[in-house]
Structure 1
Amino acid sequence: MEQLQTGALGGFRDYLRAVGYGAGSVRMLESCTREFFVFCALPPGEVQPANILSFYAYLQVRPSQRGEGVLSGKMVDHYLYSLRVFFDWRQAVGTSDHHPLSGLQLPRLGDGRRLPLSVTETGALFAAAHHEREHAVLHLLYSCGLRRSEAVALEAVDVWPDRGVLYVRRGKGARRRVVPLASRAAASLGAYLRWLSVQLPGGSQRLLVGSRGQALTGDRLCRLVRELGERAGLDAVVTPHRLRHSIATHLLARGMSLEQVRDFLGHRHADTTQIYAHFQNGGL
């Protein structure tokens, strides 16, 4: 174990710091990974899927050290997430082409409220939109990955469909960023801006407005996307964050790098973005 600490785990810790994980996340990932290797008593290159499954079963009955009872489902998810990041790292740097979690479909044990929509569900959601404003909202939250607060704060002058960009001037932590517009998103937002100019010929400062020209609130935005989900016949409750989560997961699944998705979403640390990576295969 001491050799593992100075070797694989040491390199893993350095990697996490190098790609921008926060200090707390580095400690958590390293600690969870270390506990796995104590449990299985094998070097990384000899770990098999059966060892992961045994550890998964153990975690579900492992006593919690912070209170009575066993580990929460969310904590079990954290352990398996840590192992996926660890073996992803070893595979990425060429230390090993062996990934014992590859192909394993382990269900998440947390509450599941943040599970992303599938590509098919996302398509159904767009098909259910009938109004220029509804299409614009979906493109802002999904195609552009905006937070709810960012979407309602957008002004009409922040969107440039002809240049293929929009500007987030009031991002989380007062950070600004430029978000690229895919062709469909640019066309949809262009159509919405033209509709807006007809409905409000005097101009509107805010991009998203209600039927009477009043700025759309965050609560109204949530109701709108939830109603779209119901209209599309989706079982999942659709929220602005779920759409943002979904585009992050889909971009990672298409091969976009973690750093590119981090910048696209406006995250400060890579660990915030990495959370989405383990949803690519439908589980942990």
Structure 2
Amino acid sequence: MDISKLNLNKNDQQILAQFENYLLIVLSLAKNSVNAYLSDTEKWMIYCKSLNLSYLEVKASDLEKYYQISYGDKMAISSATRSLSSLHNFYSFLQDIDLIGANPVDNLTRPQKSSVLPSVLSYEEVDRLLNAPDLNSKFGIRDRAILETMYAAGLRVSEATRLELADLHLSMHLINVVGKGNVERIVPLNDAAVHFLELYFSKIRKSIVNGNETAVFLNYQGHPISRQSIWKMVKKYLQIAGIDKKVTPHTLRHSFATHLISNGADLRSVQELLGHRNVSTTQIYTHIANNLLLKVYNETKPRK
């Protein structure tokens, strides 16, 4: 993020620039997370300025008013959680450099996460989605390779876009994935993913690559494909596959984990494959798998 272009005075820009370094170096956050945190913090600083309120002297009640005014009662839980996390880290940083004493966010009630389970695709829906790209077209092969790799390795969109050539070990059916906080993990690939990656490399990538670009998945200009492009790509193939449910690229990751557990994988192994720091984050997939099994049982049980 170019902090010099933000609608802040020079002193606030300097504070935000220091906060950016804190997020990158001390907390080791990924660039996308850093930009999101900086955006949340900038909004808060501008709000304080509009009220002639110093963000160094705010109370929890000031923050509560801000969230009510800015987002209202309909604020998404995920947005509220991230925004609060942004400001909590911002005030922790201000504590570290001795500009404030107590962290005002500590006294706020955190929004409760929804109990709604994430959407997953059935095995049949996964097959339809993965088979949707036209392999007779140049970028159909690339898209198939992306979809197969994301499902086979349970990748986040950001992880797929960050894959480098050096991360692939196709002869061993392995890839090195850089996840949140730049934490690396080794994940196996199935035969289908390896096949379509090799097809993409032999027929497509070398014809579009721009210079010495080392990213695995490239766009039309031969540069790294963006997260937005993958979102659009998934939406396109959902329509072609006739899948009428709320699906995002992250649904492939949810489906990967759920299918592993449904087939008997233990929770700790799935945790490592997904790169979760806490096994409690992975436990949600046991609930999804159990719900799917119950649905199958209710639909096929021998006695009604």
Question: Is the 1:197–1:203 contact (alpha carbons within 8 Å) kept by the matching residues of 2?
Answer: no
1:202 shift after superposition:
4.4
CA displacement 1:173-207 (0-9 Å, x = unmatched)? 22101111111111111111222123338443111
Q: Does 1:175 align with 2:175?
A: no
Give me the identity figure in percent: 35
Q: Normalising by structure 1, report the TM-score.
A: 0.58
Distance 1:155 1:232 in 2: 29
**Which residue in the other structure is 1:254 paired with?**
263
How many angstroms does 1:211 deviate by?
1.6
CA distance in 1 between counterparts of 2:153 and 2:170 reads 12
State the shift of 1:116 in Å: 0.5
What SS does structure 2 have at the residue aligned with 1:140?
helix
Deviation at 1:111, TM superposition (A): 5.4
Q: Give 1:30-109 correspondences, 5 Å limit.
A: none
- In structure 2, the partner of 1:192 is 200
Runs of 4+ deviating beyond 6 Å: none
Q: 2:115 and 2:284 mapped to 1: Cα distance?
A: 13
- CA distance in structure 2 between the partners assigned to 1:193 and 1:175 by the alignment: 27
2:151/2:252 contact within 8 Å kept: yes
Match of 2:250 in 1: 241
- Give the count of matched residue pairs: 175
Cα separation, 2, equivalents of 1:213 and 1:158 = 19
Q: Which residue of 2 aligns with 1:118?
A: 122
Q: State the distance in 1 between where 2:121 and 2:232 align.
A: 17
**Does structure 2 retain, via aligned residues, the 8 Å contact 1:164–1:186?**
yes
Q: Is the 8 A contact 1:152 1:218 kept in 2?
A: yes
Specify which of 131, 141, 159 is matched with residue 168 of structure 2. Answer: 159
In structure 2, give the amino acid aligned to 1:188: F
Letter in 2 for 1:265: L
Q: Does the alignment pair 1:128 with 2:136? A: no
Decide which structure has greater helix share. Answer: 2
- Counterpart CA distance in 2 for 1:218 and 1:199 is 19
CA distance in 1, matches of 2:240, 2:217: 21
Alpha carbons of structure 1 residues 263 and 111: separation in structure 2 relative to 1, 3 Å: closer
The answer as to 2:139 corresponding to 1:141 is no
SS at 1:243 equivalent: helix
1:218 deviates by 0.9
User: Does the aligned pair in 1 maintain the 2:209–2:223 contact within 8 Å?
Assistant: no
Q: Whose RCO is larger (CA < 8 A, sep 6+)? A: 1
In structure 1, what residue type is equivalent to 2:179? G
C-alpha contact 2:133 2:237 (8 A) present in aligned 1: yes
CA distance in 1, matches of 2:253, 2:179: 14
Q: Which moved more, 1:200-209 or 1:139-148?
A: 200-209
Aligned counterparts of 1:202 and 1:132: Cα–Cα separation in 2: 21
Q: How does 1:220-239 map to 2 (within 5 A)?
A: 220-239=229-248
**2:171 match: secondary structure:** coil
Instruction: Report what 1:205 is aligned to.
Output: 214
Q: Normalising to structure 2: TM-score of the pair?
A: 0.54
The one of 265, 269, 273 aligned to 2:282: 273
Q: State whether residues 210 and 223 of structure 2, in contact with CA within 8 Å, keep that contact through their aligned partners in structure 1.
A: no
User: Residues 167 and 180 (structure 1 numbering): CA distance in 2 closer, same or farther, change over 3 Å?
Assistant: same
Contact 2:210 2:222 (8 Å CA) reproduced = no
Q: Distance in 2 between matches of 1:275 and 1:157?
A: 33
The answer as to whether partners of 1:166 and 1:179 remain within 8 angstroms in 2 is yes
**Alpha-carbon separation, structure 1, partners of 2:232 and 2:167:** 24
Q: Is residue 161–residue 187 contact of structure 1 (8 Å, CA) maintained in 2?
A: no
- What root-mean-square deviation, in Å, do the aligned CA atoms of Structure 1 and Structure 2 show? 2.1
Do 2:119 and 2:247's aligned partners in 1 also have CA atoms closer than 8 Å?
no
CA contact (8 A) 2:176 2:184 kept: yes
**Structure 1, unaligned stretches of length 5 or more?**
1-73, 75-108
Shift of 1:261: 0.6
Unpaired segments ≥5 residues, structure 2: 1-76, 78-113, 135-139, 295-304
Distance 1:145 1:200 in 2: 26
